[in-house]
Structure 1
Amino acid sequence: MVMVETDTRLLSDYPIIRRIPTRWMDNDAYGHVNNVTYYSYFDTAVNGYLIEKDVLDYLHGQTIGLVVETSCKYMKSLEFPDIVLAGVAVSHIGNSSVRYEIGLFKEGDTDPAAQGYFIHVYVDKATRRPVNIDSTLRYVLEEMSI
């Protein structure tokens, strides 16, 4: 894994912390969590929180968030059986889009293993056309803002 220098956030910089256990299948042939799996952790942390807050109903709701842009910088390896602490914050809320900032930390570490972001555009589930973020979701997103 190539390590990248970047400005880092501490776990305490994130208003939301999600605990994600790694799985045996997350490791690749090199003995660490495969890079694509980090994006799965991003999705799990953000969407899990939104479901818990009852502002995302991906099965029956009329609005869904589609990822339109994403990035991840890798600083340290994770590996099974690590527990990942995913820090989540919102850095921008638009009319129909949100930028989530995510930091992944091995439980017990103060330095991130990775950090990145993704942007959701909220769309009508049937038409896939952008819709304005409703007031209930906007309130939860504002609570997550940094």
Structure 2
Amino acid sequence: MKAAGRREPGERGAYRAFLPLTTRWADNDVYGHMNNVVHYALFDTAVNGWLIENGLLDIHAGAQIGLVVETGCRYHGELAFPDPVTAGIRVAKLGQSSVRYAVGLFRGEAEIAAAEGFFVHVYVDRATRRPTPIAGRLRAKLAEIAA
């Protein structure tokens, strides 16, 4: 039974980029499924993995870095080790110095998300930690995966 006001799980087609992720033995909790905190770690891994894979983030020497300022998650179904997980990513909102990513976690090749969340980065100067505009190649690549 669907709770009042609860949105239906998203479908794979709503996302623009995909990354395969793996679950680990330690991800399961005493209830036999993936603990809720692991979903947030997978969101972080998916977004930063996509940024690194696309040459948009230099974690060691980049002048601009994204700091997480907000996250959230809705759980639709269970995931557990040894499930393979595919993370779907899209940009839900692209601001001047911030970006809100939507992330769906799918069990393997499933068409319906087991969990969906969001992840907000504010881009800042690495040294000063002051917000800086998202520009150039980073902005262009983010726009490519915008909904």
TM-score range, shorter chain: over 0.9
CA distance in 1, matches of 2:114, 2:36: 11
Deviation at 1:108, TM superposition (A): 3.3
**What's the Cα RMSD here?**
1.3
The residue type paired with residue 92 of structure 2 is S
Normalising by structure 2, we get a TM-score of: 0.93
> What does 1:57-72 correspond to in 2, within 5 Å?
57-72=58-73
Residue 10 of structure 1 pairs with residue 7 of structure 2: no
> What does 1:105-144 correspond to in 2, within 5 Å?
105-144=106-145
Deviation at 1:138, TM superposition (A): 0.2
CA distance in 2, matches of 1:53, 1:25: 29
How many residues get paired? 144
> What does 1:15-34 correspond to in 2, within 5 Å?
15-34=16-35
CA distance in 2, matches of 1:108, 1:91: 23
The residue type paired with residue 44 of structure 1 is T
> What does 1:62-101 correspond to in 2, within 5 Å?
62-101=63-102
The residue type paired with residue 18 of structure 1 is L
> What does 1:27-66 correspond to in 2, within 5 Å?
27-66=28-67
- Give the 3-state SS of the residue equivalent to 1:66 in structure 2: strand
CA distance in 2, matches of 1:52, 1:86: 14
Deviation string for 1:88-143 (max 9, x for gaps)? 00011111000000011101322211001011000111111100012110011001
Normalising by structure 1, we get a TM-score of: 0.94
- Mind listing any 5+ residue stretches in structure 2 that lack a counterpart? none
After TM superposition, the runs of 4+ consecutive aligned structure 1 residues lying more than 2 A away are none
> Could you tell which deviates more after superposition, 52-61 or 103-112?
103-112
